[in-house]
Structure 1
Amino acid sequence: MAALRHEFYETDEFVTLSIFDRGADPAKVNVDFAPRKLSYTHGDKSLLLEPLQGQIDPSRSQFTVGKVKVEVRLAKTNAVRWGGLVGDSPDPLANSAAPSSSSTTTRSVKPTKNWEGITSEILTNDKEKTTEEDPNVGGDSTLNGFFQKIFGDADDDTKRAMMKSYQESGGTTLSTNWDEVKKAPVEVKPPAGSEWKKWN
C-alpha cells in the first residue's frame, strides 16, 4: 500500500491532522477511530497511527474530505499538549480499572462537507507545491500550522482581512485588521532589495 504524507497541529482540545490524498473519493475513504489508534484507508493508500501519543474520544472525532487533503479532527480526552502524533508513553488515563482491549470500540464516520475549508481553499493553489517551489512545504509544518491556527480560530472579519490582503498584495502582506484593509486595495510590498513583477 502507498504511504501518505501528513502533518498536524494541535490545541489543548483537538489534534487536526491533514492527510494529503488529492482527489479522494468521499464514498471510498474510511477512517476508523479508537482510543489510541487512527486508521485511514482509501483504495490502495493507507495511514496507520498507533499508539497515538494520547487518548482520543472516537465519538467526538470526525473528518472531512477536500480536493487536496482529508482533514481529520481528533478530540482529546485529556486537555494536554501531545507534542507528537505517536509515542510509546503510557496512556495517562489508563489505570487498573481500564477496560480490556477486547471491549474497546472502534467507530467509522461518514465524511461531512467541509464548509470551513472552502474559504481556506481560496488561499491554496490547484496543485500542491514541491519543496523546490516552496521550502515550507513538508519541511516546516510548525509555521504552516501556526498560520492555519490563526486562520482557523479567527472571526469572519479577520479571515476576510487575511484573504483580501494576501490576494491584493500578491502574497507580500498578511493583515488581520479588516477595518484597515476594507478601505482601499492593499499595496504590494516586496522585501527590501526585491522588485515586484506581475506575471501573465
Structure 2
Amino acid sequence: MTTLRHEFYETDDKLTISVFDKGADPEQVSVKFEPRRLSYKNGEKELVLEPLKGQIDPEASGYTVGKVKVEIRLVKMAQGRWVSLVGDSPDPMTTTVIPQASSSTTTTTRKPKKNWEGITTEILSAEKEVTSDQDPNAGGDATVNSFFQKLYSEADEDTKRAMLKSYQESGGTTLSTNWSEVGKGHVEVKPPQGSEWKKWGA
C-alpha cells in the first residue's frame, strides 16, 4: 500500500483535505465518510485518517477528483478549529493560542464603565457655592423660591390667602401679604418697568 501525501486548510465550519494523487481516475477513487473516520482508496493507494480530531457530518461532506489532486470537503458537526486532522486529546495549539487570542480581544474591546455617581459628586464638590455677598444674583430662582416657601409655610391664613390671590390675579407680577388690602378687589397686573404684559398665546 502507498500512503498518499496530503495537506489541509480549515474554517470554523469546514475542513478541506488535498490528497496529491496525480491522474486519479474518478471511477477508481473511493472515499468513505464516517463521524470520526475518513478513508480514501485508489487502487493500491490509500489514506486513512482516524480518529478525526472532531466529528463530521458524513451526509454533508463530499469530494472532487482533479488532474493533480483530490479535494475532500469535511463539514464539521461543531464549529471551531481543529488545528490537526487526527487526535483524541486537544492539540497544544488550541490551549495556548486560542485563549490568548480571546483574552487579547476582550482586553481591546472592553470599555471601562463610567462611575457617574462619583463624577457627579466630584463636580458638585468642585463647584464653590457663591454667596449673595460675592454676587447679588447668587442663588437665583432656587433661593427666591425657598424664601417664599418658608414665608408661606410660616404665615397665618389671611397672609396665605393674600399671597395666593395677589399672585394669581396679577399674573405673577405682584405678591402681597396684606389681606385687608388684597381682599377689597381685583389685583392689577403690574409688569416690571420697561416691559409689556401680554396674555399667553396673544
Choose between structure 1 and 2: higher helix proportion. 2
TM-score, normalised on structure 2? Answer: 0.44
Q: Which has the higher contact order (CA 8 A, sep 6+)?
A: 1
Structure ID, larger Rg: 2
TM-score normalized by the length of structure 1? 0.44
